[in-house]
Structure 1
Amino acid sequence: MKQEKQMPGIDEEAILKPVLTHIKHKLMVLSGKGGVGKSTIAACLAIALAKKGNKVGLLDIDLHGPSIPHLLNIPDILDISPEQKVLPKEIMPNLEVVSMECFMADKDQAVIWRGPLKHAAIRQFIGDVQWGDLDYLVVDSPPGTGDEPLSIAQLIPEAKAIIVTTPQEVALADIRKSITFCHEVDMDIAGIIENMSGFICPHCGKEVDIFKTGGGERTALAFHVEFLGKLPFDLGVVEAGDEGKLIKYMEREDNPYNKALFEIADRLIQRLKEMEIKPVSLDEIRAKNSYKVTIPLKDGKPAPFLTNCDQIAMVHVKDSQIKKVERISPSQQGPIRPKVFVDLGADLVMAKEMKEKAKYVFYKNKVGVVLDIPDATPEELVEKFIKGELGGK
């Protein structure tokens, strides 16, 4: 069950928007269970993207068991700028890192926090860090579908998930939960990576499927999710991670693990291009022979937000004329989500205000958005839209 984590009295969207607008792609690496190599893949993927000439930030939000500093040999506490912004640690050209461990003088200190404190910390990791312009922000989250990935889903509306699994059935059962989690919080899935898929013997070169193989690809196919690729079990990666030498290890271009990883990075880049979402043209909606306009209402007037409406007006337009107006009472099982309007078949949603997450969901589903509407009847608002007096283009 999703829970709203936003702290009362804090406009998180206003805090984070100036930062997030400078980050082109936001990626969260998650897994249904621990021990699948998620943090190693997050680090290696960030390295690969940086080696391809992209400006990359790597954010470790595993508050209880951060491992990125160890994998990348980051012993230092992060510095603060004169503007009181946290300065990420640059560990190689084009790659900067922030982790909870980098704020702790005692690395063995236990972090015992409940959900609201975690949420506030993650908001600070995003909003109070001087990330600057990034092509990619890679977020390494703890395993499971708890507070940390839920916070990222709420704080970064357009974040996309990369789900890591291993081939055995126990891991695949958990990956299905991760997919369901993404659907519940309206987070797009960039793809699935199957880790530890075969072991290449260093002596004879023969590949042995010690954990089976192909399960991740079959799961991706069954759930209609992109499969980004398979990574072999590589003892060299394990040793490099233990010694904090992953960057050095990834310089070996002839290594099967590195070859597979860079191919996955290429597929990811292409996948993100395919997933780019743009606002729907309002003129194209007006030009349709028929379309549906939905307006959230509260006490008969346009509601301040989608989530607190008590009624939805559905206005049917055909040949640039209003043909029918329906009043729909939404289910009273919690706040109204954008998916409700999508499921109603809306071509356009008109509202006073709207969160970035809601706009993202609508644009993803090819639904237009008009904001800052005046207090007027649904019929009056739609007439203004038809004439081009509301919404511009």
Structure 2
Amino acid sequence: MSESCTHDCSSCSSSCGERKEPQSFIEKTNEYSKIKKVIAVVSGKGGVGKSLVTSSLAVKSNKKGYKTAVLDADITGPSIPKAFGLKERATANDKDLLDPSVTQTGIKVMSLNLLMEDETTPVIWRGPVIGGTVKQFWTDVMWGDVDYMFIDMPPGTGDVPLTVFQSIPVDGIIIVTSPQDLVSMIVGKAVRMAEMMNIPIIGLVENMSYIECDCCGKKINLYGESKLEKVAAEYGVEALAQIPIKPEIAAACDNGTVEMCGDEEWLEKAFAAVEKKTADK
């Protein structure tokens, strides 16, 4: 393998070994799409609220007047359409491209669940097919003008995150975690993958941080003491927010009304970090 290559050169032509710069695998969008900033929301494990953070940041971006979109890259576990109450299937247009679905407040969304006849049908595909689908969501959807696109990633550091980081010009990632014991190791995997792929880290968001007592307002650490500040310091990244456990938040996602949730304090700081760290790109 050539030092300047990012793949196995054994079956390539002789010119491959003569490259002086690494080969780029970034895919271009179609001529009808202009996407300015791309933010990926990642997690080292499932069930930490990554889709909640993705959809909430998109809502905040839209409320601030930015043209906003969400690309649901969690092909085998898509939940973005449900959070926004989207049920109609996406359709192709006369340009041989897919039109994204649009939420009540104008956020553009593409997800595999918007292409399935039954949203409960399992996706039993191998990695290359899943990765190809994610790339098509980038290249074959008529996104139009978008200021901020948020990508809801599947958990872990497997095929889809690798496809996204190699194929889509990601401007930064937000890592979502929880207060449980293995958080440092899990965050470490996400941080190191981003570093290896040369993707800037915007910061950490801790979900399910605490619950507030209805009687006295005291914060109860249901899953143990928060490790957000400690882990952020360990990896040299910014701690952006702690999201409490609130029944109304869960209900909004389940009922498809995430756009109707009030602006929580954590949204302000987290989205401000997105604006600040992508401003000079």
**TM-score, structure 2 length as denominator?**
0.86
Partner of 1:64: helix, strand, or coil? Answer: coil
Partner of 2:28: helix, strand, or coil? Answer: helix
Distance of 1:21 and 1:245 partners within structure 2: 27
Equivalent residue, structure 2, for 1:265 = 271
**Cα contact 1:87–1:129 (8 A) shared by 2:** yes
> How many correspondences in the alignment?
263
Distance of 1:18 and 1:207 partners within structure 2: 49
Q: Which amino acid aligns with 2:156?
A: G
Deviates more, 1:133-142 or 1:152-161: 152-161
**Cα contact 1:69–1:99 (8 A) shared by 2:** yes
Structure-2 change in CA distance of 1:150 and 1:69 (3 Å): same
* 2:211 aligned with 1:199: yes
Distance of 1:65 and 1:20 partners within structure 2: 28
Q: Which amino acid aligns with 1:265?
A: F
| Residue number among 89, 114, 117 corresponding to 1:77 in the alignment | 89
Equivalent residue, structure 1, for 2:199 = 187
* 2:121 aligned with 1:109: yes
Structure-2 change in CA distance of 1:12 and 1:73 (3 Å): farther
1:11-51 Cα shifts (integer Å, max 9, x gaps)? 99685255698211111101001111111111111111111
**Cα offset, 1:152, TM superposition:** 0.5
Equivalent residue, structure 2, for 1:132 = 144
Distance of 1:160 and 1:270 partners within structure 2: 11
Equivalent residue, structure 2, for 1:31 = 43
**Cα offset, 1:116, TM superposition:** 1.5
Structure-2 change in CA distance of 1:20 and 1:193 (3 Å): farther
Over aligned residues, Cα RMSD in angstroms?
Answer: 2.3
Equivalent residue, structure 2, for 1:66 = 78
Equivalent residue, structure 2, for 1:52 = 64
Task: Give structure 1 stretches of 5+ with no counterpart.
Answer: 278-393
Partner of 1:133: helix, strand, or coil? Answer: strand
**Cα offset, 1:54, TM superposition:** 0.6
Distance of 2:277 and 2:210 partners within structure 1: 25
Larger Rg belongs to: 1
Structure-2 change in CA distance of 1:26 and 1:20 (3 Å): farther
**Cα offset, 1:202, TM superposition:** 2.8
Partner of 2:182: helix, strand, or coil? Answer: helix
Instruction: Pick 1 or 2: higher relative contact order, CA cutoff 8 A, min separation 6.
Output: 2
| 1:4-23 pair list within 5 angstroms | 16-18=28-30, 22-23=34-35
**TM-score, structure 1 length as denominator?**
0.63
**Cα contact 1:194–1:217 (8 A) shared by 2:** no
Structure-2 change in CA distance of 1:12 and 1:225 (3 Å): closer
**Cα offset, 1:180, TM superposition:** 1.2
**Cα contact 1:19–1:131 (8 A) shared by 2:** no
Distance of 1:51 and 1:153 partners within structure 2: 27
Equivalent residue, structure 2, for 1:220 = 232
**Cα contact 1:172–1:216 (8 A) shared by 2:** no
Equivalent residue, structure 2, for 1:41 = 53
**Cα offset, 1:94, TM superposition:** 4.0
**Cα contact 2:32–2:142 (8 A) shared by 1:** no
Distance of 1:155 and 1:272 partners within structure 2: 19
**Cα offset, 1:172, TM superposition:** 3.0
**Cα contact 2:26–2:168 (8 A) shared by 1:** no
Task: Give structure 2 stretches of 5+ with no counterpart.
Answer: 1-5, 13-22
